[in-house]
Amino acid sequence: MQNFSEGKFDIVVIGAGHAGCEAALAGARTGLKTAMLTLNLDSIAFMACNPSIGGTAKGHLVREIDALGGEMGVNADKTALQIRMLNVGKGAAVQSLRCQSDKNAYHTEMKRTLEHTENLTIIQGEASKILVKDGVVCGVETGYGGILECKAVIVATGVYLNAQTITGDVICNSGPNGFAPATLLTQNLIDLGFNVRRFKTGTPARIDGRTVDFEKCTVQNGDENLYPFSFLNESAPQNKLPCYLTYTNAQTHGVILNNLDRSPLYNGTITSTGPRYCPSIETKVVRFADKERHQIFIEPEGADTLELYVQGMSTSLPHDIQQDMYHSIAGLEDCRIMRYAYAIEYDCIDTLDVYPTLEFKKIKNLYTAGQINGTSGYEEAAAQGLIAGLNASLKIRGKAPLILHRDEAYIGVLIDDLVTKGTDEPYRMMTSRAEHRIELRQDNADFRLTEKGYECGLVTEERYKTYLKRKSDFENAVNVLNEKLDHSKTDEFLTAKGFDVTNNAVSGSDLIKRGICLDEIVNFFGILQDFSVSVKQTAEIFIKYEGYLKKGREQIEKAKKLENRLLPEDINYGDIDGLRLEAREKLEQIKPASLGQASRISGVNPADIAVLMVYLTLKYNK
């Protein structure tokens, strides 16, 4: 095969899924010549599984991506079919936006954005080799002999590396949805020093909407008066299509349990590790045998198709069993399956070999992002893609890297978990993983991150001006709420609400702290009429949780003492007396940047941290 030049670039991104798109845009939008190499242009930003963006904790990630200058939130708003707020009955810290997306429109809009981005070249082809010279990336070779010279490479291959789909006893060498797998790169990654392992995920069937009896299902409409994903937009997307809720039943469970011998998950065909928090329907039925039923959501794939996504019914059972299983469910008795469910296995890496910048420890300027890092979900992938793309760009431009800490962003929690603890199963972001979640709410993502994105060169002047106005509006809204209200009107309001009148003048903030909803205060007293929904909500949350936020910040300041005690890169943990053998091995492998990161490593206990603190004081006077 004859090699030939396909050009010189600053950054080459391998993959065009949600991680690849954000990485490529981050590179190009910060002024670097960027190439995005993808197996198939038709799979750009493809939603291989559920046609939605956001969800619990995932909605936080999308808003953080947007606050930093990323594209996922903008594209989600453009292509949403309905939008809802999850966990509305719980505290503000765990409430998350989720939108049902138009699958084809999401792909089309993202592809259009990429095509019209200055400095970005899109190439269809398969990466076969990452070229390295003297321990530094210098290019990518394609399967047809093309050479893309570059200064940095971001590997964002998703679930395509040596992918196999599995349904019953039928195993196909295939990527998701029938797309071709990537078969040429894995061995090269192993040769470069990556530890490669095998993970698994899956997807449910798609059914013909004309064959569903919706009268037997419960309609699930979108919410009104919400804010959108992107801080660039003032109002949430319109709700265009409903979703529906139904349930499995004893017959469904019987079909599954009577055919476990034909399930690849239970007969030994599948040996790789699947996602704990998004299990197949057969896993749910076996693991939760006491449950009489499981929720099933029927969701539209798009406005231009009859295909419906059956959320909650992921499976790798054979096609004939799938028919019996789906037909046992209320509303789906006569449903016609258009695309059968399948499991998919793929290669990924051990992220303990990756720095918090997402740069590979053994090869300079080689970054990884997305499901190759062992994560699951579009949002987790996009967040990593943005950080990898930004850090590659920052390094080439001679600037300090962007490392978000656990008290700054869910993105920081995500990446710190990956590079400090690693993961033995597909990692999913959850609010419970964030110890500072009261501070990391989705409503204040721009206050936390937009300045950082602007300093990195990714946040545009338009985004930055929008942020400054929202910040100013928020401060003004809080000031208004802290002002004393008309005393006579306050007594009338309190009496109507069943509260005792007060001899002292009270403010809107005082009323909020009594548990009164801001909307009621606004409507009765006529204040904050010119402020946006999102600003009013952020102000209300800030006042309502002010005491908790103050305590949270005190905890953050204490934690920063460990985070600020940096560990030298050349430290030899084998020479430190008092460290246990396991701690030495883990510290040597991960090379933590600080005492804080070291304290979160599995196998390193408080006694080991105490030894390190003494060692730093004696050896480095830190």
Q: Note the pLDDT tens digit of each residue in 160-197.
A: 999 999 999 999 999 999 999 999 999 999 999 999 99
- Sequence-distant (≥ 6) Cβ neighbours of residue 198 within 8 angstroms: 271, 272, 273, 345, 346, 347, 348
The most confident of the ranges 88-97, 142-151, 507-516 is: 142-151
SS3 164: strand
What tokens were used for 214? 């919706």
What is the rounded CA–CA span in Å between residue 273 and residue 111? 32
Q: What are the beta bridge partners of residue 166?
A: 171, 343
pLDDT of residue 497: 82
pLDDT of residue 622: 61
Comparing 533 with 66, the larger pLDDT belongs to 66
What tokens were used for 47? 């939603």
Angle value at C-alpha 221, between 216 and 223, nearest 5 degrees: 160
Q: Categorize the per-residue pLDDT at 470 as very low, low, confident or very high, splitting at 50, 70 and 90.
A: very high
Q: Are 206 and 51 in contact (CB under 8 A)?
A: no
190-228 per-position pLDDT tens digit: 999 999 999 999 999 999 999 999 999 999 999 998 999
What is the rounded CA–CA span in Å between residue 213 and residue 200? 33
Task: Give residue 415's identity as a one-letter amino acid code.
Answer: I
Q: Which of 338, 345, 389, 362 is closest to 155 using CA atoms? A: 389
User: Which of 13-22, 277-286, 564-573 shows the lowest mean pLDDT across its residues?
Assistant: 564-573
Query: What's the mean pLDDT in 71-100?
Result: 96
Q: What are the beta bridge partners of residue 123?
A: 37
Q: What percent of the chain has pLDDT over 90?
A: 87
231-258 per-position pLDDT tens digit: 999 888 999 999 999 999 999 999 999 9
113-164 per-position pLDDT tens digit: 999 999 999 999 999 999 999 999 999 999 999 999 999 999 999 999 999 9
Q: At what angle do helices 58-67 and 445-456 cross, to 10 degrees?
A: 40
CA distances from 274 to 19, 177, 375, 423 (A): 20, 18, 11, 12
What is the rounded CA–CA span in Å between residue 390 and residue 30? 8
Give the 3-state secondary structure percentages of the chain, helix then strand then coil, rounded to 5: 40, 20, 40
558-610 per-position pLDDT tens digit: 888 888 888 988 899 988 988 999 999 999 999 999 999 999 998 899 899 99
Tell me what the pLDDT averaged over the chain comes to: 95
Q: Are 525 and 504 in contact (CB under 8 A)?
A: no
pLDDT of residue 401: 97
Q: Is the pLDDT of residue 502 over 90?
A: no
pLDDT of residue 491: 85
Q: Which of 539, 557, 549 is closest to 596 using CA atoms? A: 557
CA distances from 490 to 145, 169, 501, 543 (A): 77, 71, 8, 19
What does DSSP assign to residue 17? S
Angle value at C-alpha 457, between 453 and 459, nearest 5 degrees: 50
- Specify the length of the chain in residues: 622
Q: Are 122 and 351 in contact (CB under 8 A)?
A: no
What is the rounded CA–CA span in Å between residue 593 and residue 589? 12
pLDDT of residue 203: 96
- Show the domains of the chain with their CATH numbers: 4-202+346-442 (3.50.50.60), 206-343 (2.40.30.260), 470-554 (1.10.10.1800), 564-620 (1.10.150.570)
What is the rounded CA–CA span in Å between residue 17 and residue 385? 9
Query: What's the mean pLDDT in 532-544?
Result: 94
- Sequence-distant (≥ 6) Cβ neighbours of residue 354 within 8 angstroms: 360, 361, 368, 373, 418, 419
Comparing 274 with 362, the larger pLDDT belongs to 362
Q: What are the beta bridge partners of residue 101?
A: 80
The most confident of the ranges 463-467, 525-529, 546-550 is: 463-467
SS3 342: strand
Query: What's the mean pLDDT in 292-296?
Result: 97
pLDDT of residue 575: 87
Q: Is the pLDDT of residue 503 over 80?
A: no
pLDDT of residue 29: 98
Q: Categorize the per-residue pLDDT at 346 as very low, low, confident or very high, splitting at 50, 70 and 90.
A: very high
User: Which of 12-26, 275-289, 291-305 shows the lowest mean pLDDT across its residues?
Assistant: 275-289
